[in-house]
Each structure stands twice: as structure tokens, then as C-alpha cells.
Amino acid sequence: MIHSLSNVLSKNIGPNTEVWQFCVILPEAVVGDNCNICSHVFIENNVTIGNNVTIKNGVQIWDGITIEDNVFIGPNATFTNELIPRSKVHSSDNMKCTLVKKGATIGANSTILPGVTIGEYAFIGAGSVVTKDIEDYGLFYGNPATQKGYITTEGIILDMEKRDADGVQHILKKE
């Protein structure tokens, strides 16, 4: 479903993806299947978005940003692709790519600085400023975002020793 109040110029939108009101998707963007693109989302050209991705309201996905499968992007999260922007000064040297790996969550109103990689199933708390790469399953928040623990694929919050609130030790994938 592509809402009639949106301007979707890309033909590369998965069949079960929903695009709600007042979105703009430029022609070369690729959006996978079964995504939910909420209202007021802007997706530029050099963007690849996987399957089962949720992008809440008011998010812009700029050139050079890749979002893998099953990622959740909270409302008004802000991506960036130029570290030192100046009006009317464009240089590809200044553009940096950002990768959000599968299953990651980005909390509402977070800011993701250019060139970072957010690891698989990582979780960024609301209002964070992400300045560095985030490890897989890492729970990070604050400004600048720092690691506060880990999180399971199901969303169980773990401390830095990977213990849950009941003290049970969890083993995360890849260990």
C-alpha cells in the first residue's frame, strides 16, 4: 500500500510494504518487503532498506545509508551523512556511509553521526547521540552514547556481564 498523499518515485518497493502519508521516496532507493514506512519519512536515492523494517514518523534516510532486515527506527531519529557540512559546498570526500545491521533498534530522537555501523540486534536508547560504532547486541544510550549493557534478540536487557534482572547469565550469538 502506498498512500495517495505520498510521493513515491522508486519502483523498487517490496509488495507488502506500507508507505503512509506525506512520505517522499526518491527513484533509486530500494525498500524491501513487509516494511512499515510511517508518515513524514524521506528516503533519498542511494539508500537500501531490507525486509520487515519499521521506520517511524519523521525520519530521513540520506544517501549512503543502508538499513538491514528487521531494523526498528524510532520516531524523529536523525541520520547524518556529512561530518562537516557547509551550505553549497559539496564534496564526496565529506560523505560517509552508515550501516544499521539486522535486528537493531534506534530509539526515538536519537542522532546517528556519519560513518558509524550499528551492530546486529544492538539497541540505542531514546535521545542518544551515536558517535562511534556500536557492537552487536550492545545496549547504548546517552550523549555521547556509551555502553550500558547488552540486549537479547527478544529484548531482555542485560548488564555488562550479560546477566538479566534476575541474575541469569545469557549467552549471546557468536560466542
Give contact residues for ligand COA (rule: CB under 6 A): 74-75, 107-108, 125-127, 141-142, 157
Cell numbers placing 39: 508518515
What lies within 8 Å, CB to CB, of 22 at 6+ separation is 5, 6, 39, 40
Q: Pick the closer one to ligand COA by CB: 47 or 145.
A: 145
Shortest distance (Å) from residue 74 CB to ligand COA: 3
What are the backbone dihedrals phi and psi of residue 92, each rounded to the nearest 5 degrees, phi first? Answer: -65, -20
The CB-of-9 to ligand COA minimum distance in angstroms stands at: 28
112 neighbors 65 (Cβ within 8 angstroms) = no
Q: Decide whether 28 or 159 has the Cβ nearer to ligand COA.
A: 159
Range 111-138 burial, b when 16+ CB lie within 10 A, else e:
bbbbbbbbbbbbbbbebbebbeebebbb
Q: How far is the CB of 52 from ligand COA (least distance, A)?
A: 16
Name which of 46 and 57 has its Cβ closer to ligand COA.
57
Instruction: Give how far the C-alpha of residue 59 lies from the chain's centroid of Cα atoms, to the nearest Å.
Output: 9
Decide whether 64 or 72 has the Cβ nearer to ligand COA. Answer: 72
Instruction: Report the nearest approach of ligand COA to the CB of residue 20 (Å).
Output: 15
